[in-house]
Amino acid sequence: MKHLQTLHYIEGVVRAGSIRKAADDMNITASALNRRVQRFEEEFGSEIFERLPRGVRLNPAGELLMQHFRSLVSDLRRVQGQVADLAGERRGHVAIACSQALIPYFLPSQIAAYRGEHPGVTFSVLVRDREAAEQELGTFHSDLALVFEPVHLVDFEVISHCPQIIHAVMRKDNPLANQTEVRLRDCLDQTHVLPSASYGVRALLEMSAKRGSRPMRPSVETDSFDFMRHYVRHENAVAFQIPIGLNISAEDDIVSRPLSTRDVPVGSLLLGQQRGRSLPVASARFAQRLTRALESLSGA
């Protein structure tokens, strides 16, 4: 425990990639931070950083140390949450990495409802693509990940899942708007806007297009679903989104139509945590709330 503050400093160095930049970030002198790291390495019995010409990075011993430290911090947060529950007032912090589609509607309503019951709980919400979200779990920077079509799933322990049919988003005056569902080939025959390659929506569309007769030739590519939604208003184009990220009213000038599952398979929105980790109380209880909400969306 006596090294806890030093380990926080070391994690700051890991994030910054150099002692000088970390010192600036933490408002201490670089020489003081360097002495602290060196003193810890002496007591630890091993160097934990590789000294590079332009900074530092963890060596294998340092990687093991930081994994232990992050696990220790997680366990301390869990015990603190349990103690707070004993006193009848839930406290704690929930860090969640999520796909962009969760940002406009789903997560704000869920977090606000949870904090209405437990105002002592704070949150950090990090927008991450599906691969980065899994990395956030592995480094314990996030407790939970809520992502569409994760990449690896090696250390991703699935808590809940919600099926999502990809929708085509277009103006109301687009000819496809008259259909109850649309074919992918008809969308690709029109001007279309696609998300960047790191997103699950793009991965499913690419896989499906390779099996079909129409290539994808996007006029615009972007990492912003909000941009795509607004762009179709200006050029009569087709964009793509999962329904949990849509909230289109009858008065809106755009509509969404589900893509036929004959063309594009149903994707999975997964709620998960790092495999084998015991979550802090606040995070575990929030995961239960999200599970109920996702089950209601999927009709489970």
Same domain, 146 and 22: no
Same domain, 187 and 221: yes
CATH number of the domain within which 294 lies: 3.40.190.10
Amino acid at 40: F
Same domain, 247 and 274: no
Amino acid at 255: V
Per-residue model confidence (pLDDT) at position 40: 83
Residue 10 lies in a domain: yes
Whether 190 has a pLDDT exceeding 80, the answer reads yes
Encoding tokens for residue 222?
Answer: 């972007």
Residue 12 lies in a domain: yes
Residue 223 lies in a domain: yes
Same domain, 205 and 158: no
Residue 237 lies in a domain: yes
Same domain, 38 and 185: no
> How many separate domains does the chain show?
3
Same domain, 177 and 135: no
Q: In what order do the strands lie in the sheet with 121-127?
A: 121-127, 92-98, 144-148, 267-274, 156-164
- pLDDT confidence tier of residue 86, bands split at 50, 70 and 90: very low
Would strands 92-98 and 121-127 be described as parallel, antiparallel, or unpaired? parallel
- Mean of the per-residue pLDDT values of the chain: 87
Beta strands in the chain (DSSP E): 49-52, 55-58, 92-98, 121-127, 144-148, 156-164, 167-171, 193-195, 220-222, 239-241, 254-258, 267-274
CATH number of the domain within which 256 lies: 3.40.190.290
- pLDDT confidence tier of residue 124, bands split at 50, 70 and 90: very high
Same domain, 258 and 174: yes
Average pLDDT over residues 181-195: 94
Q: What is the 3-state secondary structure (H, E, C) of 91-133?
A: CEEEEEEECHHHCCCHHHHHHHHHHHHCCCEEEEEEECCHHHH
Taking the CA atoms of residue 67, residue 71, residue 73 and residue 79 in that order, the dihedral angle to the nearest 10 degrees is -170
Same domain, 232 and 99: no
Report angle CA 172, 175, 178 to the nearest 5 degrees. Answer: 70
Domain containing 231 equals 166-265
Between CA 159 and CA 277 the distance in angstroms is 12
Between CA 76 and CA 92 the distance in angstroms is 11
Give the pTM. 0.72
Helices 30-44 and 4-16, interaxial angle, to 10°?
A: 120
Whether 73 has a pLDDT exceeding 80, the answer reads no
Residue 85 lies in a domain: no
Interval 34-58: pLDDT, tens? 888 888 888 888 888 888 888 888 8
